[in-house]
């Protein structure tokens, strides 16, 4: 359930600031630091995978070389990449704040 809240805070709501603040409060007040670490690690891995796939798609020769793609579609794809990067940054900031970023650091360096 906690993982679902974290993912919902990142992806689902138009007014994400309120939902993110609520989730941060829940994470701070959650009694099991180990559970918080596991859920944030899981959300980090999911977000990192999305960012990696998005960056690979945007930097692939097929994407850059396809002249049939319009500039608007390319901008949309880049906006999607940037948005997912911001979600990942928010997760990393929360992990650092809660001092549970050990696994994220290892995963990022790999």
Residue 6 confidence (pLDDT): 78
The Cα–Cα gap between 44 and 103 comes to: 9
Number of domains forming the structure of the chain: 1
Write down the pLDDT at residue 62. 57
Residue 3 in domain: no
CB-CB contact of 60 with 97 (8 Å): no
Classify residue 91: in a domain, yes or no: yes
Contact residues for 95 (Cβ-Cβ < 8 A; gap 6+): 40, 44, 101, 104
- What counts of helices (H) and strands (E) characterise the chain? 6, 0
In a domain, 21, yes or no: no
In a domain? residue 71: yes
72 within a domain of the structure (yes/no): yes
94: containing domain: 31-109
What pLDDT, in 10s, does the model give residues 48-89?
A: 888 888 888 777 665 555 556 567 777 777 888 888 888 889
For residue 38, CA distances in Å to 59, 71, 90, 98, 103 come to 31, 40, 16, 12, 9
Place of tokens 């997760």: 91
Instruction: Kindly report which listed range (3-7, 33-37, 46-50, 103-107) carries the lowest average pLDDT score.
Output: 3-7
Residue 6 lies in a domain: no
Domain-located, residue 2: no
* Residue 45 belongs to some domain of the structure: yes
Label residue 13 by pLDDT band (50, 70, 90).
low
């Amino acid at each position: 359930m906690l993982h679902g809240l974290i993912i919902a805070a990142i992806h689902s709501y138009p007014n994400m600031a309120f939902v993110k603040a609520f989730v941060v409060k829940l994470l701070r007040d959650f009694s099991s630091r180990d559970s918080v670490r596991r859920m944030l690690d899981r959300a980090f891995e999911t977000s990192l995978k999305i960012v990696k796939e998005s960056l690979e798609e945007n930097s692939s020769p097929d994407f850059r070389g396809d002249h049939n793609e319009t500039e608007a579609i390319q901008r949309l794809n880049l906006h999607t990449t940037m948005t997912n990067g911001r979600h990942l940054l928010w997760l990393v900031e929360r992990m650092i704040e809660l001092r549970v970023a050990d696994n994220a650091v290892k995963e990022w360096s790999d």
